Structure 1
Amino acid sequence: MKYAQIPLGPLQTNCYVLTKENGTCLIIDPGGDGEKLIQAIKENQLKPIALILTHAHFDHIGAVDEVREEFAIPVYIHEKEAAWLLDPILNGSQSFQMGQMIRVKPADKIIVNEEQMQIGEFKFQVFETPGHSPGSLSFYFKEEGMVVAGDALFNGSIGRTDLRGGNHEQLLKSIHEKLLTLPEETVVLPGHGPETTIGHEMDGNPFLNGF
């Protein structure tokens, strides 16, 4: 499986396009610039089969409807943030005053619990990793040795916890119990900034020391 990291939207949120050899792909967190993303997918002759969200902050969902409608694919989100898609207050777009109130149509698929999921040829483990937001999810692709961590864990940092439903202690618990238990060589694909590895963050992330 290959992946492309594509920074999109006003905060340059990392959108990930995961692709199998046959060209089918999963889209994770299309934060904005829908036309740019759609063009890249078409230019590479990819076939999207689903759109999954790590969480529903405005900078991760800005192009959801545009991409969903273009490719006629289902959208997945955790039940705790399903309502956030429709509400600019909950998803933060009203507070940040980025010039646009983000309202996204309801998700097609609701994730309720941690589970092994398979969408087409893509097999992955869903981890609940709340703290940055109540319904934050991480997606672990064991065979490929990678985890898409949303805004839970970054290269040298962790997600902010001062937004609606954020909880610092809960985030640290999520990181230590769900992410740092993965093999140290696991590649971490974060919601912002460059990729990292579990081992690198265990050794050098200053926010995780002394937990």
Structure 2
Amino acid sequence: MLVTGFPSAVFGTNCYVLAPGAGQECLVVDPGIEVLAQLSEVLREHRLKPAAVLLTHGHVDHTYSVTPVCGAHGVAAYVHTDDRERLVNPLEEFASTGLLSMLEQQFGRAATWAEPTDVVEVGADAVLELAGLRVRVEHAPGHTEGSVMFALEGAPVGAPDDVSRSLLSGDVLFAGSIGRTDLPGGDHAAMLASLRDRVLTQPDDTLVLPGHGPLTTIGRERATNPYLRELLAS
């Protein structure tokens, strides 16, 4: 499986591109702020054609470029039902945080938003057959109501020998940390339940591709992540 990722210009949100191999259809996951040029370069380099855009949740740092990506390639955006309304205008719930003025200062223009034309709602434990890949949707609320992780059998080309599957964890699990629960849609109790029921049940040989920061594995996080260790000890 071909997997490549890069951080966005704002908040370092990881955008991922997944495909069975070069020259084939692909999935774009979480196209954030100012990713279009780099995404186009990745698609050109590997001769890939997007078949869908997958969203781990509806916060604007993960969805900002979803509409231009979907529109340019004539594909749908997939989001959990509980975060569907965030695609109407994800900028709105962050208006009071200073995010919009920060974007204007950084890029010299006001942030704008248009809802994607084609949105597919997915539920918990859905299985998506897209671009020659089989993706299992793991509903893991806590960061938002509709936060999900995407699980795939198999590991990326070049991955360590001790991993055999992959998990795009969005803002649920990071290397050494977990997602915030003090942003719109956050719920600390729900996050703890998701970590217990959705994260800690994953095999140790799972490669974790998080929404921010470096790659890790479930085995490494089970042994070293203070939030998971606290849950295991309780």
TM-score normalised by L of structure 1: 0.93
Deviation sequence 1:70-104 (CA, Å, 0-9, x none): 111111011111111122223x3653233344524
Aligned residue number for residue 63 of structure 2: 61
Matched, 1:183 2:203: yes
* Structure of larger gyration radius: 2
Cα 1:41–1:120 shift into 2, 3 Å: closer
> Residue 130 in 1 paired to residue 141 in 2?
yes
The residue aligned with 1:30 is 31
Work out whether 1:105 is the aligned partner of 2:115: yes
Partner of 2:194: 174
Q: Percent identity?
A: 35
1:134 Cα deviation after fit: 0.7
Task: After TM superposition, give the deviation of residue 196 of structure 1 in Å.
Answer: 0.4
Q: How many pairs does the alignment contain? A: 210
Matched, 1:89 2:92: yes
Aligned to 1:206: 226
Q: Take 2:192 and 2:66, find their aligned partners in 1: how far apart are those partners?
A: 29
Deviations 1:144-181 (A, max 9, x none): 30100000000000001001120112112102211221
Separation in 1 of the partners of 2:186 and 2:111?
Answer: 21
SS of the aligned residue for 1:130 comes to: coil
Which consecutive residues of structure 1, in runs of 5 or more, have no partner in the other structure? none
Provide the residue aligned with 1:19 in structure 2: 19
Instruction: Return the alpha-carbon distance in structure 2 between the equivalents of residues 126 and 113 of structure 1.
Output: 6
Check whether the contact 2:123–2:139 (CA below 8 A) recurs between aligned residues.
Answer: no
Tell me the CA shift for residue 113 of structure 1.
2.9
Give yes or no for contact 1:61–1:104 (8 Å, CA) kept in 2: no
1: CA distance, partners of 2:112 / 2:171: 19
Q: Give the 3-state SS of the residue equivalent to 2:204 in structure 1.
A: coil
Deviation at residue 120 of structure 1 after TM alignment? 3.3
Q: Which letter does structure 2 place at the counterpart of 1:120? A: A
User: Normalization by structure 2: what TM-score?
Assistant: 0.84
* Equivalent position of 1:48 in the other structure: 50
1:194 counterpart = 2:197: no
Letter in 1 for 2:38: K
**Uncovered stretches (5+) of structure 2, i.e. residues with no partner:** 105-109, 156-164
What is the letter of the counterpart of residue 29 of structure 2? I
What do you get for the CA RMSD once the two structures are aligned?
A: 1.6
- Structure 2 residue 9 is the aligned partner of structure 1 residue 9: yes
